[in-house]
Amino acid sequence: MRVVTFSNQKGGVAKTTSTYCFAAVLKSLGHRVLVIDMDPQMNVTLISKVPEDDLPRIYQVMVGEAEFPEAIRELEQFDIVPGSILMSSADKTFPEKNRNRLLKLALEKISDRYDYVVIDTPPSMGLLTVNAFAATNDLIIPAKAEILALSGIKQIYDLIREIKKKTNPDICIRGILFTQFTSRTNISSTMMEMATSMSEIIHAPIFETKIRSTVKVQEAQAYRESLFDMFPSSTAAEDYKAFVKEYLEVISNG
């Protein structure tokens, strides 16, 4: 089982869209895929149209009120452990024992059930993101070609170094994924140069695939619909398929 996390403390970089599309493409290729929504905003849960029910969610798993398998919903596009607004109180309610490793320990119980676990994280470097990093093999950083989206990458790198020392020596920053990308603008060229320098600092490449900017992504988000369901022929949908192909080639080469 390989755990992949999408994270950037800057919001609005298509982190949730990337999580959803990445998982959906993997599932379409025949892989067994589980999505975990660690974000209290629950956007990937909403896009996935998880039915309203009284079953446990990720919060109940994290505070020890439910076992991990009880929280899994089996959907057509992939399996998912839905998010919960209660996750916003994690700092106060998560148990003290192993509180940075709760997700990692929970995932060990289903390690033979999935090929990939894909985690969506909140736009912060707090306890929820630390838990995700502690369980992660590959970290993917979605970023827009703008200064604020890139400036937080160094902070992610600093946190990863701490996680490597204390909790998870196997985590790897697999790369930076540019989203909402327009190559024709001067600012994109400037930001690409900055990102290249940043990638050298954090010892992680920039993925060759760029998710091109298109209003279709925003329209799908506005309706809380899957990009692949609403606009399967859009440039962004094509780009996410290409990105998954690139990712699989990268990990196959070590």
* ∠ Cα 231 122 142 (to 5°): 55
What's the CATH code of the domain at 101? 3.40.50.300
DSSP string for 37-89: E--TT-HHHHHTTPPP-SS--HHHHHTTSS-GGGG-EE-SS-EEE---GGGGG
What pLDDT digit, counting tens, does each position of 191-241 carry?
677 777 778 878 889 999 999 888 888 788 777 778 888 888 899 999 999
pLDDT tens-place values along the chain, 254 residues long: 999 999 998 787 889 999 999 999 999 999 999 999 999 999 999 999 999 899 999 999 999 999 999 999 999 999 999 999 999 999 999 999 999 999 999 999 899 999 999 999 999 999 999 999 999 999 999 987 666 556 678 888 889 999 999 999 999 999 999 898 776 655 566 767 777 777 887 888 999 999 988 888 878 877 777 888 888 889 999 999 999 999 999 999 87
Burial class (CB within 10 angstroms; exposed 0-12, middle 13-18, buried 19+) of 2: middle
pTM (predicted TM-score)? 0.93
Parallel, antiparallel, or unpaired for β 73-74 and 79-81? Answer: antiparallel
Q: What is the pLDDT of residue 14?
A: 87
Structural domain tally of the chain? 1
User: What domain range includes position 217?
Assistant: 2-252
Q: What is the pLDDT of residue 147?
A: 62
CA separation for the pair 190, 225 (Å, rounded): 33
* CB of 56 closer than 8 Å to CB of 84: no
Amino acid (one-letter) located at 103? L
